[in-house]
């Protein structure tokens, strides 16, 4: 089945947390519409950029884009940005069931409100390995009152301004800022219906599959429903061994499904709460109401909401990561050996006085020509052709527990190129930031793939003994994984999806500051790119002279037809 959507992306005045600011909406809403479809269905989104003064691109997070890498929506990697007034048609197939989402992947537009859920059910006739009565979905976000422009300029100024902690946390696009904290010139209004809490209505006795996605720009979150246990059954579209928790830690870019039974006193409502973890918390708890029907939805629960576990309890978060295993009978075990292993040391650095993040001392600068296009069109000047570093120089002597002796890094645009179908291990290594006694959690997201999470550790990875402890039996498969403070995380994936794929920290400001890399595999198998990814407006239809792997038409013909199109454009 094919699902067609026509979306207009534009700025509107919105008050998701009662404070009015400009937000990026899809057809007037943030979060945008939820895509609901089945595995195997095709999604067609005609996305019109009505932002007036800004480009846009939308990434389909967790959808692997088999056969359509140019529709991954990653500006600078897989496509040119969509210019104001232009329409881009995303077309892709939902390769597996589960919980996914979409979000802006240009500049810092995600934190301006450009995001929404994708809910993919199993094909008709297929049963899932757990029972529930109904689905409920929520998408979690953090929210700032200053604009993404102020954030982006602050981050990229010599006089660095950090984005700081968010003003609010949003559940399904709704939060509540305390307007009485200051005089906001009429811009903050707690009676605005836009910021009344999200309601999750349940019928006593029923079991719900609550799908939870985190699209936060910065915050790691801890989610709980007052008085209710949650059984985790799905992570990033993969079934996991049922695992009961009271609190779920969820990092930016992750999705989970939990089963919740409405088995508490039905005469009242309960809080569903999110709290910041892993960074020193200044943002108030984000709240929704878990409403037992037929109680009035907005009746607040009689007790104060939980303020969550201590923000710096790294150990319990680390243990939750360790405890999640693939569901028996529903997983493909990883290849038992790999063809290659790379180590990616994450560091906070300075370049010419500017604050940056780097991987193996290289801070990614996205080239003007997106990688996939440069690779297909053999534009060797578009990015640095020498291979990206597979480890940190002198990794052995790098002290991850202290600020680096030399904090300077360099800009780079090199990529990692893997033979098609090879098996690749990636060891992510965390370290101290520029400030002493500081190391943050980084959620790393890989486009175009699921990887197996072979292991996590606290401290420095030991290339001899740690691989012997890898879980090669039932590791969970994911597309986003936390790298804990001062820790390491080891992944394995098959380079089996022809294309060019971003792999980056999902903290929006960290990727913006260069914390990412690009992987390529099998690009020679990618068919000729649709012209719509190559440019903008009418010039998208321009046929350019082909250097490699493109048209079968003689180049003289193409040259003449280009001249003809140019002439037409000129006459217009």
Binding residues for ligand ASC, per CB under 6 A? Answer: 162, 348, 433, 435, 440
CB 517 within 8 A of CB 416: yes
Number of alpha carbons in the 13 Å side-chain half-sphere of residue 166? 31
- Residue 543 burial (CB count, 10 A): 17
Cβ proximity to ligand ASC: between 184 and 354 the closer is 354
Q: How far is the CB of 436 from ligand ASC (least distance, A)?
A: 11
Closer residue to ligand ASC in complex, CB, 212/345: 345
Cβ-contact 450, 515 below 8 angstroms:
no
Pairing relationship of beta strands 199-202 and 286-292 according to DSSP bridges: parallel
Please tell me the distance from the alpha carbon of residue 545 to that of residue 553, in angstroms, as a whole number. 10
Alpha carbons 461 and 13: distance in angstroms, whole number: 48
Smaller CB separation from ligand ASC, 25 or 348:
348
Nearer to ligand ASC, 62 or 166 (CB): 166
Q: Tell me how far, at minimum, the Cβ of 379 lies from ligand ASC, in Å.
A: 32
CB of 529 to ligand ASC, least distance (A): 34
C-alpha 65/C-alpha 72 separation (Å) is 6
Contacts of 255 (CB under 8 A, 6+ apart): 62, 98, 99, 100, 101, 211, 212, 213, 214, 234, 235, 236, 237
Closer residue to ligand ASC (CB): 62 or 253: 253
CB of residue 366 vs ligand ASC: minimum separation in angstroms? 18
Radius of gyration over every alpha carbon of the chain, rounded to an integer in angstroms: 24
CB nearer to ligand ASC: give 167 or 440: 440
Sheet holding 58-61, edge to edge: 35-38, 115-121, 98-104, 58-61
Q: Using an 8 Å Cβ cutoff, are 254 and 321 in contact?
A: no
CB-based contact 61:73 (threshold 8 Å): no
CB 269 within 8 A of CB 293: no
Take residue 365 and report the two structure tokens written for it.
């600068």
Residue 423, strand partner residues: 494
The distance of closest approach from Cβ of residue 160 to ligand ASC in the complex, given in angstroms and rounded to an integer, is 7
In angstroms, the CA 317 to CA 449 distance is 24
Residue closest to 44 by CA, chosen among 22, 19, 71, 24: 71
Angstrom distance (rounded) from CA 439 to CA 432: 5
Shortest distance (Å) from residue 206 CB to ligand ASC: 41
Measured from the CB atom, the residue of 79 and 346 that comes closer to ligand ASC is 346
Spell out the SS3 assignment of 93-133: ECCCCEEEEEEECCCCHHHHCCEEEEEEECCCCCCCCCCCC
Q: How far is the CB of 233 from ligand ASC (least distance, A)?
A: 32
The angle subtended at Cα 425 by Cα 518 and Cα 439, nearest 5°, is: 75
Q: Quick one: 1 or 435, whose CB is closer to ligand ASC?
A: 435
Q: Which residues fall within 8 angstroms of residue 15, CB to CB, at 6 or more apart? A: 21, 188, 189, 192, 194, 195
Q: Measured from the CB of residue 154, what is the shortest distance to ligand ASC in angstroms?
A: 10
Please identify, using beta-carbon distances, which residue of 170 and 433 lies nearer to ligand ASC: 433
User: How many whole angstroms separate alpha carbon 140 and alpha carbon 171?
Assistant: 5
Nearer to ligand ASC (CB atom), residue 99 or residue 349 = 349
> Is the CB of 231 or the CB of 278 nearer to ligand ASC?
278
Residue 145 C-beta: closest distance to ligand ASC, Å: 18
Closer residue to ligand ASC in complex, CB, 38/350: 350
Give the nearest distance from C-beta 431 to ligand ASC in angstroms: 13
Reading the block at residue 246, the tokens are 């009271």
- The CA distances from residue 74 to 69, 96, 219, 351, 518, in Å, are 10, 21, 22, 25, 11
Minimum CB separation of residue 441 from ligand ASC in Å reads: 10
Residue number, 410 or 539, with CB nearest to ligand ASC = 410
Here the tokens at position 199 are 């309601």
Which residue's Cβ has the minimum distance to ligand ASC?
Answer: 162
Residue 477 beta carbon to ligand ASC: minimum distance, rounded to whole angstroms? 28
Strands 42-49 and 2-14, by their bridges, are: parallel
Query: Around Cβ 226, how many Cβ atoms within 10 Å?
Result: 17
Q: How far is the CB of 435 from ligand ASC (least distance, A)?
A: 6
């Amino acid at each position: 089945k094919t699902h067609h959507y026509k979306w207009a992306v534009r700025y509107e005045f919105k008050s998701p947390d009662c404070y009015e600011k400009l937000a990026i909406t899809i057809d007037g809403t943030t979060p945008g519409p939820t895509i609901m479809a089945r595995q195997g269905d095709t999604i067609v989104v005609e996305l019109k950029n009505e932002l007036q003064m800004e480009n846009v691109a939308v990434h389909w997070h967790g959808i692997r884009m088999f056969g359509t890498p140019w529709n991954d929506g990653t500006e600078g990697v897989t496509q040119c940005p969509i210019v104001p007034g232009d329409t881009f048609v995303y077309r892709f197939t939902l390769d597996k069931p589960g919980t996914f989402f979409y979000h802006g992947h240009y500049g810092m537009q995600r934190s301006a409100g450009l995001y929404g859920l994708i809910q993919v059910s199993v094909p008709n006739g297929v049963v899932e390995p757990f029972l529930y009565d109904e689905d409920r979905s929520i998408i979690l976000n953090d929210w700032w009152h200053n604009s993404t422009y102020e954030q982006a300029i602050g981050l990229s100024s010599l006089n660095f301004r950090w984005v700081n902690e968010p003003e609010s946390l949003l559940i399904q696009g709704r939060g509540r800022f305390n307007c009485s904290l200051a005089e906001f010139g009429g811009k903050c209004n707690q009676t605005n219906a836009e910021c009344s809490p999200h309601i999750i209505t349940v019928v006593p006795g029923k079991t719900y599959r609550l799908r939870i996605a985190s699209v936060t720009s910065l915050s790691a979150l801890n989610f709980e429903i007052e008085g209710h246990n949650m059984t985790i059954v799905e992570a990033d579209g993969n079934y996991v061994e049922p695992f009961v928790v009271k609190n779920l830690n969820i990092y930016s870019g992750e999705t989970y499904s939990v089963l919740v039974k409405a088995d508490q006193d039905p005469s009242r409502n309960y809080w569903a709460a999110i709290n910041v973890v892993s960074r020193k918390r200044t943002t108030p708890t984000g709240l929704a109401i878990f409403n037992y029907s037929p109680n009035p939805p907005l009746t607040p629960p009689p007790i104060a909401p939980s303020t969550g576990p201590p923000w710096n309890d790294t150990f319990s978060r680390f243990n939750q990561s360790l405890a999640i295993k693939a569901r028996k009978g529903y997983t493909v075990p990883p290849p038992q050996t790999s063809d290659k292993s790379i180590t990616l040391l994450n560091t906070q650095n300075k370049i010419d006085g500017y604050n940056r993040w780097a991987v193996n001392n290289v801070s990614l600068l996205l080239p003007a020509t997106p990688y996939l296009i440069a690779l297909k069109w053999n534009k060797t000047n578009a990015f640095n052709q020498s291979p990206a570093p597979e480890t940190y120089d002198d990794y052995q002597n790098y002290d991850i527990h202290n600020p680096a002796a030399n904090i300077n890094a360099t800009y780079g645009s090199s990529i990692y190129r893997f033979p098609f179908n090879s098996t690749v291990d990636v060891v992510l290594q965390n370290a101290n930031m520029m400030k002493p006694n500081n190391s943050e959690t980084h959620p790393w997201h890989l486009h175009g793939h699921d990887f197996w999470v072979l292991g996590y550790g606290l401290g420095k990875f030991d290339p001899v003994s740690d691989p012997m402890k890898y879980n090669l039996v039932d590791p969970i498969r994911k597309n986003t994984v936390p790298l804990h403070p001062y820790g390491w995380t080891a992944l394995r994936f098959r380079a089996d999806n022809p294309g060019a794929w971003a792999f980056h920290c999902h903290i929006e400001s960290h990727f913006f500051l260069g914390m990412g890399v690009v992987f390529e595999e099998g690009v020679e198998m990618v068919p000729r790119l649709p012209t719509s990814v190559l440019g903008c407006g009418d010039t998208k239809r321009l046929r350019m002279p082909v250097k490699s792997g493109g048209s079968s038409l003689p180049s003289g013909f193409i040259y003449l037809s280009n001249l003809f199109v140019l002439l037409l454009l000129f006459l217009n």
